[in-house]
Amino acid sequence: MKTLRILAIDDHEMTMLGYKFILERIVFDDYNIIVDTANTYESGKQKIEESVHSFKYDVILLDVQLYPPNEEQPQNGEDLGVLTRKLVPESKIAFMSSFSDNFRINSILQSVDPDGYLVKTDIDPKTLEEAIKTIVTNPPYYSSKALGAIRKKMSNKITLDEKDKQILYHLSIGTKTKDLEQYIKLSPSSIENRKRHLKSLFGTENKNDLALILAAKKRGFI
């Protein structure tokens, strides 16, 4: 009997117990599934580092948000994913996220290229089981809402450079146009130009920023 080691990292202890309960009862070939857990960035990081020189985890489940919202988030699941890929490239990584916002999904798909991405509202015992099996045998596994975001992006002809993306992102979180220059290395008038250009790309000429943001959301950019 082989052992399948899973590490689940989530800051909500009860959520994680739920995962552990489901996962350890999965019947999967002749695997014995063992779930290890951690509920802070630090303890998760430590377990991953320890695993490098002992047994390696087969699958690492990472919550994107490892701190209560509103709190400072010095480090999040994405950073931990990047680190894990470096330390233990043989471990499969899957993200679990409460929000299905495209910006985050796109970013994680590029920075970590995880073997799975599960939007939490898509998860139930059945899909979780399917996800684990797919991740182990034939990755990737993307849950339904994640696929929705991916579909939007793939069906898209518009390509934006980093600065355009940053402008859209900052506008979407409510940054004022006049403050944008603090975050983006461009003059105010260039930022205005780019905003105009973006609005014409997304077909929201002469409309306000909200219209632009909504159009960009619909197309999967934020």
Partner DNA sequence: CATAAACCATAGAAAGTTTGAGGTTTTTAT
Partner DNA sequence: ATAAAAACCTCAAACTTTCTATGGTTTATG
Site residues (vs a copy of itself, CB under 8 A)? 106, 109-110, 113, 138, 140, 142, 144, 147-148, 150-151, 153-157, 159, 161
Beta strands in the chain (DSSP E): 2-9, 31-38, 59-63, 92-97, 116-119, 141-142
Task: Tell whether residue 189 is a contact of DNA (CB under 7 A).
Answer: yes
Task: Tell whether residue 190 is a contact of DNA (CB under 7 A).
Answer: yes
- For DNA, the binding residue among 25, 151, 196, 218 (CB under 7 A) is 196
Name residue 92's beta-bridge partners: 59
Phi-psi category of 219—alpha, beta or left, where left has phi over 0 and alpha has psi -120 to 50? alpha
Looking at the chain, the number of H-run helices and the number of E-run strands are 9, 6
Task: Please give the single-letter amino acid code of residue 166.
Answer: Q
Q: What DSSP designation does 98 have?
A: S
- Span interacting with DNA, options 57-65, 117-125, 145-153, 189-197, rule CB under 7 A: 189-197
Kindly tell me which of 154 and 173 has the beta carbon lying closer to a copy of itself: 154
When CB distances are held under 5 to 8 angstroms depending on the partner's kind, the choice from DNA, a copy of itself, none that residue 110 binds is a copy of itself
When CB distances are held under 5 to 8 angstroms depending on the partner's kind, the choice from a copy of itself, DNA, none that residue 198 binds is none
- For DNA, the binding residue among 3, 111, 156, 188 (CB under 7 A) is 188
Task: Tell whether residue 170 is a contact of DNA (CB under 7 A).
Answer: no
Least distance in Å: CB of 162 to a copy of itself?
A: 9
Kindly tell me which of 159 and 206 has the beta carbon lying closer to a copy of itself: 159
Task: Tell whether residue 165 is a contact of DNA (CB under 7 A).
Answer: no
Kindly tell me which of 159 and 182 has the beta carbon lying closer to a copy of itself: 159
Burial of 11 (0-12, 13-18, 19+ CB in 10 A): middle
Rounded to whole angstroms, what are the CA distances from 96 to 49, 58, 64, 72, 100?
A: 21, 16, 6, 20, 10
Integer Cα distance of 205 and 108 in angstroms: 31
Residues that bind DNA (CB under 7 A): 163, 176-179, 185-190, 192-196, 206, 208-209
